[in-house]
Structure formats: C-alpha cells, structure tokens
Amino acid sequence: MKINLEKASEYGDFSIEPTAGKEILAVYFDFETKLLIVEEVAESAASSRPIYVTTIDAPAARIIPIEERKNYIDYSEQSETDEDLGLKRIFRREINAETGNESIIDRLYRSDVEISSSNRIAFSKTKPPTVFDSHRQRLEQAAREELFWETEYRAKTFEQRAAYWVSVMFRHMRWQSESGLDEYAGFDPEWHAYATRRDPEFEQILLFIFERYKDEFEYQDHSTDEIRRRIKRSEK
C-alpha cells in the first residue's frame, strides 16, 4: 500500500491507497501499539488468500518497514503473574517477514508447568484476550456446569433425565452428520464413564432411552446397536 500526502482522511493528514494487485480489507488503530494497521489481500479468486499487514506511524504519516517495527513494538519475552489465580503467563510477539502479520505466543504456567497456550493475531481494534482471560472463562464455564448438575439436573425425574440425555445424543449425531463426520464418534467408554459419574443410574437411563425412543432412533436411521458397540456395553 502507499500513503497519499495530498489528501487527508479520518486517519490523519494523508489517505491510504491499496498496493497494485491488492485490495484493502481493513484499516484501524491497534489497541495496544496505537499504530495504524492496514490489512490487504491479493485480488484473486482463490479461497485462501494471505493477509498482508502494513503498520503506519500516523502522526508522522510514515509507513514503518517491517525491520523497523522493533523501534515501535517490544518483541522481548515478557511475563506477568496473577496472584489470585496463582498462575504465570509468558508471552512474546513474532513477525511473519513475508506478510507483515504478527502473532502473540501466550503460555500459561502453574508452578513452572505449562497448562495451556494460545497463538493469536497480535493486531486488534479492541483489547485482545490473554491466557489469563481464557483460563477465567474456563473456570466460570466449569462452575456453571457444576451448578447445573448439582441443582437443575438433580431436580429432574428419571424420565426427565432420560429426556436430557437423549436430546444430547440426537443433537451430537445431527451435528456430526451435518459436518460430514462420523455420527457415532464420541460414544465411547470415556463418554459412558463421564455420564455414569454424572448420574450413577445412567446405565438404566441408557436402556430406558433405547426402548422408549426406539422408533425415533429408527426414524432418524440411527443404530442403537452401534452406540452399544461403541461404548462396549451390551443390553442387559
């Protein structure tokens, strides 16, 4: 892309014009660096086109060459600790020298043991989430799930619990089928063990489901025998 100093725009005393053979996807100020970011793609019918990123020092109306970004952005490895979580994150930025795209490698540690990581696009209009944020979301999701099992699920009758599980099973098979995947994937000993931990009567519930909803399984061309085979359980 190039800067036109003869025409002002909302970004400063200049305007932005696309590189020959490319089109501009987005123009925005990066939340963290405050640099003006221009994203371009090649004018091509290809379904997968790499995104080319240019950084601009807007006050100076100057394109920043990739090799000079280090004067504007800190690429050293950094770390911070969340005392409430008892966790530490170590993160750093990486540049794709060909496209100008940047990513942030973010790793989460507990007592020097890595427990999760992410690789996300660095430039963003809004504050991007960190591995701390993702970890908190997982904790909140786990707490909501546990609350469901301990309150709402426990209050259900046997038939209501069976209705819950059969809806989960049919929904899973539908999603798998619509995605062109094995509709029985996921019905395995691990799934059966998880369900049994959640409900000690799950084996009885499963047998009830196969009998009560037999016609619906047949109508949707689902095999209860195949589900039994996958979880390596046989009807009693």
Distance linking the first and last C-alpha atoms of the chain:
70
Find out whether 50 and 99 touch, Cβ atoms under 8 Å. yes
**What pLDDT, on a 0 to 100 scale, did the predictor assign at position 77?**
97
Give the separation between CA 117 and CA 92, rounded to whole angstroms: 12
Q: Tens digit of pLDDT for each residue in 54-113?
A: 999 999 999 999 999 999 999 999 999 999 999 999 999 999 999 999 999 999 999 999
What DSSP line would sit under 128-176, residue for residue? PP-HHHHHHHHHHHHHHHHHIIIIIITTS-HHHHHHHHHHHHHHHHHHH
Q: Tens digit of pLDDT for each residue in 2-54?
A: 999 999 999 999 999 999 999 999 999 999 999 999 999 998 866 778 999 99
**What pLDDT, on a 0 to 100 scale, did the predictor assign at position 49?**
85
Model confidence at 234: pLDDT above 60:
no
Q: Which two tokens stand for residue 195?
A: 């369900």
**What pLDDT, on a 0 to 100 scale, did the predictor assign at position 45?**
67
At residue 83, the 3 state secondary structure works out as coil
| 199: exposed, middle or buried (Cβ count in 10 Å: 0-12, 13-18, 19+) | buried
Model confidence at 235: pLDDT above 50:
no
Give the separation between CA 189 and CA 186, rounded to whole angstroms: 9
Catalogue the E-assigned strands of 30-86: 36-42, 52-57, 62-64, 78-82
